[in-house]
Amino acid sequence: MEEYLNYHKISRNDWQSLYENSIPPLTEEELNEIKSLNDSISLKDVQEVYVPLVHLIRIYHKAQESLTMSKGLFLRKLLPTPPFILGISGSVAVGKSTTARLLQILLSRTFKRLHVELITTDGFLYPTDYLLERDMLQRKGFPESYDMERLIRFLSEVKSGKEEVSSPVYSHEIYDIVKGEENITNRPDILIVEGINVLQLPQNQRIYVSDFFDFSIYVDASEENIKKWYKERFEALLDSAFQDSTNYYYAFAQLPRKQALEEADKVWNKINKVNLEQYILPTRQRADVILHKNDGHELDTIYLRKY
């Protein structure tokens, strides 16, 4: 297909043979703790897809270290190796969060002496009050709803080796930034940055978020499947929110289920579908690796950028 023109297309069977490791470095219980509500990832997926992926990331990490050393030789001074930053993008409900949390564990256990941290770009969304004041709430998740200057400043400070870099905390339960709370990133050796916007073009900024990345992944699936998973996740959230009045999904949980799912359809068609087609999917070609999922949430094809 033309949209994958600059990629090696690798079947799952071929991919798993590229790096063999018979024992996944985590347990079923650990996997269940990190996977999203309706994600059906298995230890077999970890072994056959993610373990080879971590091996590939390791190759990129070694190349970064080698380049830093060569630059130091050229400049005739010792240069510290900057944090290796890995970006993970894709649509809502496609499984980005599970991928990010899983890679954090696998990379921590692969690079035992290195400090691996994870952050999501949700924390860089403008607060709900800010969006309401500007009549932007229906554009939440679109490029203009993020404080991109703060995100870029955050990545610049991390990349430069600043000891403590703060960022806002986002709660999916209240669907907003948590006032008074901050996440502190403390000089990671590897930083995973997960979010729908990490591969997008700048709006008014002069640089890309992805300019800071040493490796990037796009989690892919058909729009039909993503919509199905979004509705499944929406319904699962209703089941868990109906007794918690502070939860964003509480109001939806009080509606008849059919009506609530109709609201989910509206949100998908007016917001998520538009965002996917106009702003998220066009960034897929910027990823180093594309992980494609079939309708069973199973990774079936891997695309590796040629150049």
List C-alpha distances in Å: 220 to 29, 42, 79, 106. 26, 18, 37, 21
Planar angle of CA 141, 144, 146, nearest 5 degrees? 65
> What amino acid occupies position 102?
L
Residue 49 assigned ligand-binding role: no
Residue 92 assigned ligand-binding role: yes
Report residue 108 as tokens: 């921590």
By the 10 Å C-beta count (0-12 exposed, 13-18 middle, 19+ buried), 75 is classed as exposed
Residue 180 assigned ligand-binding role: no
Residue 95 assigned ligand-binding role: yes
Q: Which of 286, 233, 235 is nearest to 97 (CA)?
A: 233
Residue 90 assigned ligand-binding role: yes
Q: How many CA atoms lie within 13 A of 76 on its CB side?
A: 0
**Phi/psi-derived region of residue 95, left when phi > 0, alpha when psi is between -120 and 50, beta in every other case:** left
- The CA distance from 266 to 251, in Å, is 15
Give the list of residues 6+ apart from residue 37 with CB closer than 8 angstroms, or none: 232, 233, 236, 237
Residue 219 assigned ligand-binding role: no
Annotated binding site for ATP: 90-97
Annotated binding site: 90-97
